[in-house]
Amino acid sequence: MDETGPDITDLSLAPPIRVARLDGRQVHEIDLTPDAAARSRIAALLGLEALRKFRFRGNLRPLGRSDWELHAALGATVVQPCVVSLQPVVTRIDESVTRRFLAEMPEPEGTEIEMPEDDSAEPLGPHIDISALALEALSLALPAHPRADGEALSEAGRLEQAPPGQAPLQDEGKPNPFAALAGLRDKLDGPRNS
């Protein structure tokens, strides 16, 4: 039994496109709309409470003699736990996705390799996996720290709002533990210096 959990290879929404079978004079339409079971598997993979809607729609078109370009729109409705209260947070995601698949990638110049400014270029292999691109786009678009309305963290990482009917926690008047340690250090150092 695999203990690592779901794998992206288990979630193919469509078979990878073989580049050799693409007609270089035609635009190829793409429309991925997974059913409820597939959305549930995607939610489990990405650590979501639910993936209510998901659609990846666009086209793959020739770019020059041997390159390809993907233009797509990602639309999704995700449910994640709030980082403060763990309440469900519903987020609508609408993203444009552009990828260029190049037969010959430009070689980096110099001895140090830096991240290119244009991160839409990828090397063209024998297949283009639209499914993996759609899932990658979704995972990159997810809010990193989803918060329910009215929930926020203070600089100290605590709730700024108290639960209804309770007073918020106050730090005023509490001694700083580092100040107490500094005082202890001063007491211990005092007799040696005199």
Q: Which residues contact 91 (CB under 8 A, 6 or more apart)?
A: 77, 78, 79, 80, 142, 143, 146
Q: Is 123's pLDDT higher than 60?
A: yes
pLDDT at 149: 75
Kindly report the backbone phi and psi dihedral angles of residue 29, in degrees, each rounded to the nearest multiple of 5, phi listed first: -75, 145
Report field, pTM of the whole predicted structure over 0.75: no
CA count, 13 A, side-chain hemisphere, 75: 8
- At 108, the pLDDT band (50, 70, 90 cuts) reads low
pLDDT at 35: 94
42 vs 6, higher pLDDT: 42
Return the closest-CA partner of residue 69 out of 36, 37, 28: 28
pLDDT at 2: 45
Return the closest-CA partner of residue 136 out of 101, 105, 97, 82: 97
pLDDT (tens digit, 9 = 90+) per residue, 11-68?
678 888 999 888 888 999 999 999 999 999 999 999 999 999 999 999 999 998 889 9
How far apart are alpha carbons 168 and 154 in whole angstroms?
12
- At 85, the pLDDT band (50, 70, 90 cuts) reads confident
Tokens 């005199």 found at = 194
- Our separate counts of H helices and E strands in the chain read 3, 7
157 vs 123, higher pLDDT: 123
pLDDT at 178: 58
pLDDT (tens digit, 9 = 90+) per residue, 162-180?
555 555 545 554 545 555 5
pLDDT above 70 as % of the chain: 65
